[in-house]
Structure 1
Amino acid sequence: MPLFPGGGTTLDSVSVMDRPIRLTGPEGPWHRFAKAFREHGVAMVHARLADWVPEDLDDPGLALALGRDYARFRDMRHRPVRERFAASRSLLHWVAGQAMDAPPETVEIAYKPGGRPYLRGCDQIDISLSHTDELLLVGITRRGWIGVDAELSDRPMLSPGIERQVCTAYERAMLADVEEDDRNHEMVRLWTLKEAYSKAIGQGLRFRFNEFGFGPAGRPLQVLRPDGSPGTGDEWVLDSCTIDGRYTVSWALYDAGFGDTEDTRASTMLDPGLLEALMDGAGA
C-alpha cells in the first residue's frame, strides 16, 4: 500500500459530510444516520460508553450479540476492559446492521492483520472504530475506505521528542506559529488525523507519522509530504471537530473509484450461503 494512495474520484457528494451523529443507545436515533448513509454513502456516529454497556456482563445472550468477539470478551478479566469492549462492539454491530438493513446479531465482524475490523462477507462496506475515555466513535462507508480516531483534547503531547517522532518538518514549523495555549490542542488534532488516515489505508502505526502530515486547522485538508507539498488530491475528505468540548475526533475518507453501491442490504450484498448461515446462527 503506497503512503499517498490516489487515483480515486473527487468526493463532491460527500463534501458536506458533517460532524459525527450522536446515538444515545440501540434506540438511536437512527433517522439522521439513515439519511446520511443513503444520500452520501458514508456516516459517522459517536456515543457514550455508559449508553452501550450491557446491563449484565455475564448474560449468556452476549454470545449472540457479540458473535466471534464473544470468546475474546469471555477471556477478559478486568471489568472496565470488558465494559469498553462489549460497548464498542455492540455499537459496531448496530451501525453495520443499520447500514445493511439486517439484525445487528447477524453482522459478523472479523479483523485484518493489525486488528482493523471489517464486515465478513461484505467487502463493499468499510468500517472504522475508535474509543477514548467515555467516547465511542464509528465511521462506515460504501464508497471506499474510512478511518476515524478520537483523543482527549487535553492529552499532553507537547515535547521535542514527541514532535520529532510524530510531526514533519513542515508541521513543526506550523506548530511554532501557534499560540502557546493552543499548541497542545493542535498537536492532538494532527495526531488524530494521522491515526485516521493510517487506519483508512489499512496501515495503522506501520508508517512513521513524521513521513506525512497535514496543514493548519480551518482550511481544506489534504495529506502533505514532509516538505508540505500535496501528497493526495480531492479523492480524500479529511477533517476534525471537537465533541463535548473534551474530545478531538478526526476522520479520513477515500473514494476508491468503484462507484456507489446504493443497495447495501445484507440480502443483496452477502453470498446467499453465508447469509443463510448467519441467520441460522442468530436463531432467525
Structure 2
Amino acid sequence: MTPPGRNTTTPQTPGRTLGEPIAITGPGGDWSRVHADLDRHASAVLYARVDDWRPERAGGPRLRALLGRDWGRFLELTHPDVRTRFASSRILLKFAAAKVLDVPPRTVELGYAGSGRPYLRGYDGVHISLSHTDELLLVGLATGGVIGVDAERSDRKLYGPGLGRHMCTPHEVAEIEALPDDRRDPALVRLWTLKEAYSKAIGLGMQFRFTDFGFRSDGTPTELLRPDGTPGTTGEWTFGTYGIDVGESYTVSVAVGDAGFGTTAETAAGTALDISIMDALSEVLGSDEGGDDGSDDWW
C-alpha cells in the first residue's frame, strides 16, 4: 500500500490536531504509530486493504470467536464480496481496539447503537468508527471525544441536478457552481465524506439531513457551517480530509468532537468481555478446522 501523501490533505480545523491515516497490513503490522497518535492527538485513523484482513485467514472456529455477536450477521450475508468486507472490517476494528485496550482481540465485543454506530461493549473510554468501500477498510479511534470516519472513491461522480435537495446547503451549491467543471466532483466527494464522518460521530448517520449543515467547498480549513455559510460551531470539532491510495484512490474524512472532559490517559482494560466466556466458547468450538497459516497472530 502507498501511504498518504498525494498533496490532497486538507488543512485541519483549530482545536485538536489529527495525524495522517496509518496503514496496517495485517495483525503483525506496526501498531506503534497508533499508540503514538493516541498519545499525541487523542485519536488515530487506520486503513488497510480487504486482502490484508481476509476472514478465511482466521479459520472457522477462530473466525466465529473473533466476530462474536456479528457471527449471525456474517452468516446472513449472501454476496461473497459483501460478506468478506463485513468480516474483514470487524476483524480490523477488533484488533485495533484490542491493541489500545491491551486485551486479546477475541475478548473485544462490539455493540451497535440504534443508528448502527459501533461501540465497545463494557468500555467507553475509547470511541470507535468504521467505514469500508471496495477494497478499503477504515477505522477511527478516539479518547475523550467522539469520532467519525468515512471514505469514498476519489473519482466518484456526484455532480448533477438536485444538489440542493439532497446533499448541499445553499451556500455549498453556490460555491460548487462557481468551481471549474473538473473540480466539482472532487469537491463534492470531500463534502460527502465530511458530512458522513460528522453524522457518524454524532451518532445520527443518515438521519441528519445533509442540507442542514455544511463545510467550505474550496478545501480550506473550516468549522461546521450553517446552511447560509456562517459558523455553526465554536471550536469543539476538528475535521480533516486525506487522500489514500490502495491500488485505487480514495478520499477519507475524519470528524473528532471534544467531549470537554479531557483525554483518557490510560486506555488499557482488564478485558472488554469476560475471558472465561471466550475460553468456554473456544472449548465448545474445538480446534481450528483449517485456514490457519500456523501463526497465532489471528488468535
Q: For residues 116-162 of structure 1, what are the alpha-carbon distances to aligned partners after superposition, in whole Å with 9 as ceiling and x for unaligned?
A: 10000112211000011110101011111000000011111111214
SS of residue in 2 equivalent to 1:172? helix
Distance 1:282 1:238, change over 3 A: farther
Q: Secondary structure at 2:185's aligned position in 1?
A: helix
Structure-1 residue corresponding to 2:48:
47
Distance 1:266 1:278, change over 3 A: farther
Q: Deviations over 1:141-186 (max 9, x none)?
A: 1111000000011111111214431100100111122221111010
Q: 1:227 to 1:138 in 2, by over 3 A?
A: same
Which residue matches 1:5? Answer: none
> How many Å separate the matches in 2 of 1:221 and 1:139?
20
Counterpart secondary structure, 2:55 = coil
Whichever residue aligns with residue 261 of structure 2, its letter is F
Whole-angstrom CA distance in 2 between matches of 1:23 and 1:172: 37
Q: TM-score, normalised by structure 2?
A: 0.84
Q: Report the Cα offset of residue 53 of structure 1.
A: 0.6
Task: Name the counterpart of 1:3.
Answer: none
SS of equivalent to 1:141? strand
Gaps of 5+ in 1: 1-9
8 Å contact kept, 1:105–1:282: no
* TM-score, normalised relative to structure 1: 0.89
Conserved? CA contact 2:25–2:49, under 8 Å: yes
| Aligned position for 1:132 | 133
State which of 241, 250, 253 in structure 2 corresponds to 1:250: 253
Q: Residue 58 of structure 1: CA displacement?
A: 6.6
CA distance in 1 between partners of 2:87 and 2:274 (Å):
24
SS, match of residue 266 in structure 1: coil
C-alpha contact 1:128 1:140 (8 A) present in aligned 2: yes
After superposition, the Cα gap between the structure-2 partners of 1:121 and 1:164, relative to the gap in structure 1 and judged at 3 Å, is: same
Paired amino acid for 2:52: D
Q: Structure 1's 11 and 279: CA in aligned 2 closer, same or farther, altered over 3 A?
A: farther
Pairs within 5 Å for 1:141-220: 141-220=142-221
Q: CA deviation at 1:76?
A: 2.0
CA–CA distance in structure 1, aligned partners of residues 108 and 22 of structure 2: 21
- Give the distance between the partners of 1:99 and 1:231, measured in 2 at CA: 33
Structure with the larger RCO, 1 or 2 (CA within 8 Å, 6+ apart): 2
Percent identity among equivalent residues? 50
In 1, the alpha carbon distance for the partners of 2:82 and 2:226 equals: 37
Q: CA deviation at 1:282?
A: 6.5
Check the 8 A contact 2:65/2:278 in 1, yes or no: no
Q: Any conservation in 1 of the 2:148–2:200 contact (CA below 8 Å)?
A: yes
Which range moved further: 159-168 or 53-62? Answer: 53-62
8 Å Cα contact 1:117-1:127 kept in structure 2: yes
Partner of 1:266: 269
Structure 2: how far apart are the matches of 1:135 and 1:184?
20
Which range is displaced more, 80-89 or 157-166? Answer: 157-166
Paired position in structure 1 for 2:67? 66
Residues of 2 paired with 1:153 and 1:76: CA distance? 27
**Residue type at the aligned position of 2:252:** V
Letter of the aligned partner of 1:81 in structure 2? V
CA distance in 2, matches of 1:278, 1:213: 46
Task: After superposition, give the CA deviation of every residue in 1:4-50 in whole Å (9 maximum; x if it has no partner).
Answer: xxxxxx974x32x1221011111121111111112322110010011
Q: What is the identity, as a one-letter code, of the residue corresponding to 1:188?
A: V
What residue in structure 2 maps to residue 226 of structure 1? 227
* 2:22 aligned partner: 21
- Which digits, 9 at most, give the CA deviation of each residue in 1:224-275, with x for residues without a partner? 00000100121111011111161011010001012221111112x86xxx54
- Over 3 Å counting, the alpha-carbon distance change for 1:277 and 1:254 in structure 2 is farther
Is residue 66–residue 91 contact of structure 2 (8 Å, CA) maintained in 1? yes
Aligned-pair CA distance for 1:77: 2.1
70-79 or 247-256: which moved more? 70-79
Question: CA offset at residue 54 of structure 1?
Answer: 2.3
How far does residue 213 in structure 1 lie from its aligned partner after superposition? 0.1
Contact 2:146 / 2:257 at 8 angstroms: preserved in 1? Answer: yes
* Contact 1:126/1:145 (8 A) holds in 2: yes
Where does residue 289 of structure 2 map in the other structure?
none
